[in-house]
């Protein structure tokens, strides 16, 4: 017996389980004044091909649910004569009894499936494709107001779909998840661009959307970003509390990669408080968890796009810089740069700027200046965090060796190569 693969694909696209499709068909039948008699077993019979041509009322309900003719759902009429069977009175449910018989007959010929659009998983997939493009742009350039604005607009697009038509609970949850994902990208772009007031507004909205989605993976991203926000604002107590929320989520217990990221960001926060033991303990846990993470595990695009050994080394570098452990910081910087993926241009510029700070902290003036000057003055080199770190580098260099040749070289370089945050 041949199964109905077309119906199965359409159910997947719309986000229907067998039980949800049965309930949707029954709801349409009840709205027409009929008893809802479709069960999980009925839907299973449709899928297996045991029932290839549903009852007339069920066909009309299926057309209304899927917004297409029933023959486009993989159902096959028993014979040509079945096409000429008069339409069931179910089609008259959309009109008042005051209509004349001729009008009723004319309306009966109109397809019920044209009445209301339906939002499905195919719409969600289109949004996720846009999310993947946004993530790639963020990791290449990062921090730009244009990325923040685009992410907010896409979140609005996801929410607009909620009101556009009917959808299953699964699809609605996925749409809220998309909106939360886009808003979390706006949050990160604002953090990266040091627009902290805007970042806090995005955080409030993103956390609400994540709660409505029921998706702990996007909730992890949002609370982990909040930890980073407070770290950049020099509020370590709030940063630790926010990052702890992320680390306690089910996904962090279930997937070692998420656990590793939580530990690594905790280490970077502990660096601000000068807690050497806590930093090393967190980095040890992060490394152990990363080694346990399965590379073939299915994960959201946002974490696959950036978190790996290179990012762990980068967070360790940030922690060690905060502690003043400059030799360790330099070692982490070199390892991170060696492992960074080619497309991670923004991360490479940030790590190189931190490496220059680590070398300067050890008194290696000439290598430090050479490292800082190696950062290209293209859009990635004008990233707000990069320009801030290079300004701080110049100030520290002038304090450490105001009359040195290295300081004069850096001064000449910055005059010849101005950088303005973008």
Tell me the pLDDT tens digit for each residue of 27-64: 777 767 788 889 888 989 899 988 889 988 888 888 87
- State mean pLDDT over 275-286: 98
Q: How many domains does the chain have?
A: 3
Q: Output the pLDDT for position 422.
A: 55
Question: Which is more confidently placed, 121 or 306?
Answer: 306
Q: Is residue 347 part of a domain?
A: no
Residue 104: the pLDDT is: 39
Residue 194 in any domain: the answer is yes
SS3 167: coil
Asked whether residue 72 falls in the same domain as residue 127, the answer is: no
87 pLDDT higher than 50? no
Report how far apart, in Å, the C-alpha atoms of 218 and of each of 212, 215, 252, 344 are.
Answer: 11, 6, 11, 22
In a domain, 304, yes or no: no
In a domain, 165, yes or no: yes
For 19, the 3-state DSSP assignment is helix
Residue 382's pLDDT band (cuts 50, 70, 90):
confident
CA distance 256 to 276: 24
Residue 189 lies in a domain: yes
Final residue of a structural domain among 114, 142, 163: 114
Structural domain including 55 reads 5-95+105-114
Backbone angles phi, psi at 166, to 5 degrees: -85, 155
Stretch 136-159: mean pLDDT, rounded?
83
Q: Of 196, 214, 232, which one is at a domain's C-terminal end?
A: 214
Contact 310, 344 (CB under 8 A): yes
Is 163 contained in some domain?
A: yes
90 has a pLDDT exceeding 50 = no
What is the Cβ-side half-sphere exposure of residue 132, based on CA atoms within 13 angstroms? 10
Euclidean distance between CA atoms 240 and 269, whole angstroms: 7
23 and 109 inside one domain: yes
Q: What is the C-alpha to C-alpha distance for residues 25 and 36, in angstroms, rounded to an integer? A: 8
Last residue of a domain, one of 47, 79, 114: 114
pLDDT digits (tens, 9 = 90+) for 305-332: 899 999 999 999 999 999 999 999 999 9
Per-residue pLDDT reduced to its tens digit, 225-278: 999 999 999 999 999 999 999 999 999 999 999 999 999 999 999 999 999 999
On whether residue 287 sits in a domain, the answer given is no
């Amino acid at each position: 017996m041949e199964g109905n693969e077309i119906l199965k694909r359409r159910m997947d696209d719309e986000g229907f389980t067998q039980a949800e499709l049965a309930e949707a068909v029954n709801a349409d039948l009840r709205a027409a004044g009929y008893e809802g008699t479709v069960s999980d077993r009925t839907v299973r019979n449709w899928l297996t091909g045991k029932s290839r041509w549903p009852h007339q009322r069920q066909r009309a309900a299926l057309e209304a649910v899927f917004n297409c003719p029933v023959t486009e759902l993989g159902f096959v009429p028993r014979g040509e004569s079945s096409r000429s069977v008069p339409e069931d009175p179910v089609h008259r449910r959309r009109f008042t009894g005051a209509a004349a018989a001729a009008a009723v007959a004319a309306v009966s010929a109109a397809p019920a499936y044209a009445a209301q659009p339906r939002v499905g998983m195919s719409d969600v997939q289109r949004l996720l494709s846009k999310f993947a493009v946004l993530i790639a742009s963020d990791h290449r350039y990062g921090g730009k107001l244009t990325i923040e604005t685009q992410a907010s607009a896409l979140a609005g697009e996801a929410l607009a779909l909620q009101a556009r038509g009917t959808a299953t609970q699964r699809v609605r949850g996925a749409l809220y998840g998309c909106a939360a994902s886009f808003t979390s990208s706006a949050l990160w772009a604002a953090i990266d661009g040091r627009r902290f007031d805007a970042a806090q507004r995005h955080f409030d909205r993103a956390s609400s959307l994540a709660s409505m989605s029921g998706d702990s993976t996007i909730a992890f991203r949002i609370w982990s970003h909040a930890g980073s926000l407070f770290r950049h604002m020099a509020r370590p107590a709030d940063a630790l509390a926010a990052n702890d929320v992320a680390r306690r989520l089910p996904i962090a217990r279930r997937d070692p990669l998420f656990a590793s990221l939580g530990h690594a960001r905790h280490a970077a926060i502990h660096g601000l408080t000068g807690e050497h033991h806590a930093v090393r303990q967190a980095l040890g846990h992060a490394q152990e968890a990363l080694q346990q993470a399965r590379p073939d595990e299915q994960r959201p695009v946002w974490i696959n796009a950036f978190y790996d050994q290179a990012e762990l080394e980068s967070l360790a570098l940030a922690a060690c810089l905060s502690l003043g452990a400059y030799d360790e910081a330099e070692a982490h910087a070199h390892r991170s740069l060696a492992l960074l993926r080619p497309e991670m241009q923004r991360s490479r510029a940030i790590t190189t700027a931190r490496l220059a700070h680590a070398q300067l902290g050890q008194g290696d003036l000439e290598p430090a200046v050479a490292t800082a000057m190696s950062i290209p003055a293209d859009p990635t080199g004008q990233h707000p965090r990069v320009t801030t770190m290079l300004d701080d580098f110049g100030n520290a260099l002038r304090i450490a060796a105001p009359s040195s040749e290295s300081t004069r070289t850096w001064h000449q370089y910055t005059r010849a190569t101005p950088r303005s945050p973008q």
